[in-house]
Amino acid sequence: MDGRRPSGILYVQTDVDAPHKEAEYHRWYLDVHFPDVALPGVFVSAAMFHNALAPTPEGEGRFLAFYETHWDDLAAASAAFKRWVDVLVAERRIHPGTLSRRIAILRQLGVVFATERRRRSQSVVALELDVEPGRERELRGWGLRRDVPDVLEDGLFHTGSLNERIDEDAFAGIAAPDQARFLALFESDFGDPAALAAALAERRAAAPLPGGVRLRRVSCFYRAAP
């Protein structure tokens, strides 16, 4: 995010249990939860985005939180962070109205920058991808050598990355059942994520995915806070 190269990311989509609580939930996230999460130094560089579509698509969250880690051992990072979350739960530091939608700890397989100038990401389009068992290597190669660079050549996005859920994800038990194994993230300093997602959809129609690869979901978000 924003020109950094983390070893892994924590990707969390949530909702709050009543629409009238959204503003209060957003403030809690920024003022309470982000400092709490970052305190142990496992996942840091928190950023908040909001879903660009209304109503929020089924299975997605209104709120998207990104966190980054630079730990080389992501299994250890996952376990350490789960222990810290258990502490926060025990101390009632989690907002009681929180509804988890999608959560994953992912290894960043590769990142491509369209420019050497570091840019702040105003919009993010997230593509959840799966592939037939045994063809994961093909997807990784296609994504990093062809798809991500080709998307950036269009000039709409300044950064693209391919990420893969780790096998030792301590939060796998609460992940949505339809969550994919791979997540392609495209970041832009343009402020219309829905239009960016539509442009990616047009590209997909003109250049279909390779055999065995399935696009499970496309989500788009705008930056709501630093």
CATH class given for the domain over 8-225: alpha beta
Note the pLDDT of residue 225: 74
* DSSP assignments along the chain, one per residue: -TT---SEEEEEEEEESSGGGHHHHHHHIIIIIHHHHHTTSSSEEEEEEEESSSSPPTT--SEEEEEEE--S-HHHHHHHHHHHHHHHHHTT-S-TTEEEEEEEEEEEEEEEES-SS----SEEEEEEEEE-TT-HHHHHHHIIIIIHHHHHHTSS-SEEEEEEE-TT-TTGGGS-TT--SEEEEEEESSS-HHHHHHHHHHHHHHSPPPTTEEEEEEEEEEEEE-
- Which pLDDT tens digit goes with each residue over 207-217? 788 889 999 99
- Which pLDDT tens digit goes with each residue over 110-169? 999 998 777 789 999 999 999 999 999 999 999 999 999 999 999 999 999 999 999 999
Percent of the chain with pLDDT over 90: 83
Where residue 78 falls among pLDDT bands split at 50, 70, 90? very high
Where residue 1 falls among pLDDT bands split at 50, 70, 90? confident
Note the pLDDT of residue 226: 63
Q: Where are the domains of the chain?
A: 8-225
Note the pLDDT of residue 146: 92
